[in-house]
Amino acid sequence: MRGPPQAAPAPVPSGSDDWDMWRYVARRLLWVVFVLLVISAITYVIFFIMPPVNPVVLFAGKSPTPTILATVSHQFGLDKPVWEQYLLFVKHVFLGDQYGWPGLGFSFQYRESIRSLMAARLPVTASLALGAALVWLVIGIPIGVASAIKRRTLVDRLAMGFALFFVSAPVFWLGLMFLWIFWFRLGWAAGTGYYGFTTNGFGTWLNHMVMPWVVLALLYAAFYARMARGNLIETMGEDYIRTARAKGLSERRVIFRHGLRSSLTPIVTMFGMDLGGLMGGAIITETVFNLQGIGQWAYQSVGTGDIPAILAVTLVTSFAITFANLVVDIVYAYLDPRVRYS
Amino acid sequence: MIGLKRKTAGLLGMGLALALVAAACGGTSPGPSASSPTASGQPTRGGVLRTAISSFGFTGGFDPTDEYLGLAWDFYGAMLRNLVSYKHIGGAAGNALYPDLATSMPEISPDGLTYTFHLKSGIKFGPPVNREITSQDIAYAFERINDKNAGAEYGFYYDGVIKGMTGQVNGIKPVSGIETPDATTIIFHLTQPTGDFLYRLAMPATAPIPVEVAKCFPTGGGYGRFVISSGPYMIQGSQDLSLSQSCSQMVKNPISGFDPTKQLILVRNPNYAQSTDNLRSNYVNAIDIQVDANVSDIFNKVAAGTLDSSLADPPPTTTLTQYLTNPSKKPYLHSDSGDRTWYITMNLLTPPFDDVHVREAVNFIIDKAALQQAWGGPVFGQIATHIMPPIMLNNALTSSYDPYKTPGETGSLALAQAQMKLSKYDPKHDGKCDIASACTNIVMINRNYAPWSTMEPIVVQDLAKIGIQVVPRELETGAAYQTIDTTKNNIPIALNAGWGKDYADPFTFAQPLFGSAALIPVGNTNYSMVGVTSAIIKKQGLGVTIPKGLSVPSVDSLINQCEGQAGATRQQCWVNFDEYVMTKVVPWVPYLWATNLTITAPSLTKWVFDQFSGYISLTQVAVNNNISVSSLG
Amino acid sequence: MATVQAPSPSAGPADTGVTQVAVVGRSPWNLFWSRFVRDRAALAGAVLIGELIVLAIVAPLVAKMVGHGPNELFPLSVHGGIYLPTGPSSHFWFGGDQNGRDVFVRTIYGARTSLVVAFVATGFAMIIGVVLGTIAGYFGGWIDTIISRVIDIVLSLPLLLFAIGLATVCSTTATGCLGGLLQPGLSLVSGIIALFTWPYIGRIVRGQVLSLREREFIQAAHAMGASDARIMFGELLPNLVAPIVVYTTLIIPSNIIFEASLSFLGVGIPQTTPSWGRMLSDATANNLFTYAWWMMLFPGVFLLLTTLAFNLVGDGLRDALDPRGSRR
Q: Is residue B327 part of a domain?
A: no
Measure in Å the smallest separation between the Cα of A325 and chain C Cα atoms. 10
Measure in Å the smallest separation between the Cα of A45 and chain C Cα atoms. 11
Three-state DSSP state, A331:
helix
pLDDT digits (tens, 9 = 90+) for B51-90: 999 888 888 889 999 998 889 999 999 999 999 999 999 9
Q: What pLDDT sits at residue B18? A: 31
Q: Is residue B362 part of a domain?
A: yes
Percent of chain B predicted with pLDDT > 90: 78
A-chain CB neighbours of C264 within 8 Å are 172, 284
pLDDT digits (tens, 9 = 90+) for A263-298: 777 787 788 878 888 887 788 999 889 888 899 898
Domains contained in chain A, number: 2
B-chain CB neighbours of C287 within 8 Å are 11-12, 14, 296, 316, 318-319
Closest C-alpha to B37, from B420, B334, B376, B243: B334
pLDDT beyond 60 at C194: yes
Closest C-alpha to B361, from B444, B463, B443, B445: B463
Q: Is residue B203 part of a domain?
A: yes
Q: Is residue A143 part of a domain?
A: yes
Question: Mean pLDDT, to the nearest integer, of B493-509?
Answer: 93
Three-state DSSP state, B591:
strand
Closest C-alpha to B392, from B618, B614, B605, B234: B614
Same domain, B176 and B190: yes
Same domain, B566 and B621: no
Q: What band does A16 get if pLDDT is binned at 50, 70 and 90?
A: low
Q: Is residue A28 part of a domain?
A: yes
Query: Worst-scoring range by mean pLDDT, B95-109, B575-589, C5-19, C181-195?
Result: C5-19
CATH number for B108: 3.40.190.10
Closest C-alpha to B486, from A307, A311, C171: C171
Gap between the Cα atoms of A85 and B194, Å rounded: 43
Pick C6's closest partner by Cβ from A42, A274, A302: A274
Q: DSSP letters along B129-140, please?
A: T-SB--HHHHHH
Same domain, A161 and A305: yes
CATH number for C294: 1.10.3720.10
Strands (E) located in B293-425: 309-310, 333-346, 381-383
CB contact under 8 A, B448 and C267: yes
For B454, the closest chain C residue by CA position comes to C99
Q: Is residue A3 part of a domain?
A: no
For B508, the closest chain A residue by CA position comes to A63
In the stretch 182-201 of chain C, residues with CB closer than 8 A to chain B read: 184-185
Gap between the Cα atoms of A263 and A240, Å rounded: 13
Angstrom CA distances, B312 to B74, B264, B331, B613, stand at 10, 14, 18, 11
pLDDT digits (tens, 9 = 90+) for C278-326: 999 999 988 899 889 999 999 999 999 999 999 999 988 888 887 654 4
Q: What pLDDT sits at residue C323? A: 63
pLDDT beyond 90 at B228: yes
In degrees, rounded to 5, the angle at the alpha carbon of residue B465 between the alpha carbons of residues B462 and B466 is 105
Pick C266's closest partner by Cβ from B317, B320, B449: B449
Three-state DSSP state, C25:
coil
Same domain, B411 and B455: yes
**pTM, to two decimals:** 0.87
pLDDT beyond 80 at B623: yes
pLDDT beyond 80 at C24: no
CB contact at 8 A, B80 and B34: no
Q: What band does B9 get if pLDDT is binned at 50, 70 and 90?
A: very low
CATH number for B447: 3.10.105.10
Q: What pLDDT sits at residue B273? A: 94
Q: Longest Cα pair distance anywhere in chain C, in angstroms?
A: 83
Domains contained in chain B, number: 2
Question: Mean pLDDT, to the nearest integer, of B153-169?
Answer: 93
Same domain, B563 and B602: no
Q: Is residue C276 part of a domain?
A: yes
Same domain, A253 and A130: yes
CB contact at 8 A, B137 and B211: yes
Same domain, B607 and B519: no
Domain that holds residue C59: 44-325
Q: Is residue A179 part of a domain?
A: yes
Angstrom CA distances, B122 to B102, B103, B272, stand at 12, 12, 9
For testing the chain C interface, which of B5, B8, B16, B317 should be mutated: the one with the most C CBs within 10 Å? B317
Pairing of strands B333-346, B442-447: unpaired
Measure in Å the smallest separation between the Cα of A277 and chain B Cα atoms. 23
**Summary mean pLDDT of chain C:** 84
CB contact at 8 A, C151 and C200: no
Question: CB burial class (10 A; 0-12, 13-18, 19+) of residue B407?
Answer: exposed
Q: Give the type of residue at C220.
A: A
Question: Mean pLDDT, to the nearest integer, of A207-235?
Answer: 90
> For helices A307-335 and A114-149, what crossing angle results, to 10°?
40
Q: Is residue A10 part of a domain?
A: no
Q: Is residue A136 part of a domain?
A: yes
Pick B261's closest partner by Cβ from A120, A179, A193: A120
Measure in Å the smallest separation between the Cα of A92 and chain C Cα atoms. 21
Angstrom CA distances, B181 to A317, B118, B174, B188, B400, stand at 60, 11, 13, 11, 50
Q: What pLDDT sits at residue A67? A: 83
For testing the chain B interface, which of A62, A113, A208 should be mutated: the one with the most B CBs within 10 Å? A62
DSSP structural state of residue A63: S
Three-state DSSP state, B179:
strand
All residues at 6 or more sequence positions from C178 whose CB lies less than 8 Å from its CB, including other chains: C191
In the stretch 59-78 of chain C, residues with CB closer than 8 A to chain B read: 71, 73, 76-78
First to last CA, chain A: 16
Gap between the Cα atoms of B423 and B359, Å rounded: 10
Same domain, B557 and B623: no
Same domain, B147 and B232: yes
**Strand partners for B124:** B132
Question: Mean pLDDT, to the nearest integer, of C220-239?
Answer: 86
Domain that holds residue A72: 20-95
Same domain, A173 and A51: no
CB contact under 8 A, A111 and B153: no
Q: What pLDDT sits at residue C17? A: 34
CB contact under 8 A, A176 and C264: no
pLDDT beyond 70 at C163: yes
Angstrom CA distances, B421 to A198, B358, B431, C148, stand at 69, 9, 5, 63
pLDDT beyond 70 at B140: yes
For A191, the closest chain B residue by CA position comes to B13
Q: Is residue A340 part of a domain?
A: no
Q: Is residue B328 part of a domain?
A: no
The answer to whether C180 contacts chain B (CB < 8 Å) is no
DSSP structural state of residue B315: P
Measure in Å the smallest separation between the Cα of A233 and chain C Cα atoms. 8
Same domain, A178 and A276: yes
CB contact at 8 A, B476 and C165: no
Length of chain A: 342
CB contact under 8 A, A172 and C8: no
Length of chain C: 328
Question: Mean pLDDT, to the nearest integer, of C187-205?
Answer: 91
How far from chain centre, in Å, is Cα A290? 18
All residues at 6 or more sequence positions from C159 whose CB lies less than 8 Å from its CB, including other chains: C1, C4, C5, C6, C196
Q: What band does A1 get if pLDDT is binned at 50, 70 and 90?
A: very low
Same domain, B590 and B622: no
CB contact at 8 A, B500 and B4: no
Between chain A and chain C, how many beta carbons pairs sit less than 8 Å apart? Answer: 164
Q: How many CB atoms lie within 10 A of CB A8?
A: 18
Same domain, B612 and B575: no
Same domain, A274 and A128: yes
Same domain, A41 and A124: no
Which spans in B368-440 are helix H?
A: 368-375, 413-421, 436-439
CB contact under 8 A, C286 and B316: yes
Angstrom CA distances, B193 to A208, B96, B114, B197, B198, stand at 60, 20, 9, 9, 12
For A235, the closest chain C residue by CA position comes to C325
For C310, the closest chain A residue by CA position comes to A168
Q: DSSP letters along B79-130, please?
A: H---SEE----SSGGGG--EESSBSSSPEE-TTS-EEEEEBPSS-B--TTT-
Query: Worst-scoring range by mean pLDDT, A130-134, A317-321, B448-452?
Result: A317-321
Q: What band does B124 get if pLDDT is binned at 50, 70 and 90?
A: very high
Q: Is residue A79 part of a domain?
A: yes
For testing the chain B interface, which of C106, C261, C271 should be mutated: the one with the most B CBs within 10 Å? C271
CB contact under 8 A, A234 and C296: no
Domains contained in chain C, number: 1
Determine if the peptide bond prior to B232 is cis (ω within 30°). no
CB contact under 8 A, A193 and B66: no
Gap between the Cα atoms of C117 and C123, Å rounded: 9
- The more confidently predicted of residues C155 and A218 is A218
pLDDT digits (tens, 9 = 90+) for B413-431: 999 999 999 999 999 999 9
Closest C-alpha to B455, from B413, B496, B397: B496
Same domain, B396 and B278: no
Q: DSSP letters along B213-269, please?
A: HHTT--STTGGGGGPPP-SSEEETTGGG--SSS-HHHHTTS--TTEETTTEEEEEE-
Closest C-alpha to B278, from B622, B620, B624, B621: B620
Same domain, B50 and B196: yes
Same domain, A242 and A304: yes
DSSP structural state of residue A11: P
Q: What pLDDT sits at residue B516? A: 93
CB contact under 8 A, B220 and A112: no
Domain that holds residue B191: 31-292+596-631
Same domain, B137 and B211: yes
Three-state DSSP state, B486:
strand
- The more confidently predicted of residues A155 and C28 is A155
Three-state DSSP state, B528:
coil
Gap between the Cα atoms of B402 and B359, Å rounded: 15
Q: Is residue B5 part of a domain?
A: no
H or E element: which one contains B49? strand B48-53
Q: Give the type of residue at B562.
A: C
Query: Worst-scoring range by mean pLDDT, A37-46, A170-179, B481-490?
Result: A37-46
DSSP structural state of residue A39: H
CB contact at 8 A, C167 and C192: yes
A-chain CB neighbours of B1 within 8 Å are 62
Three-state DSSP state, B69:
strand
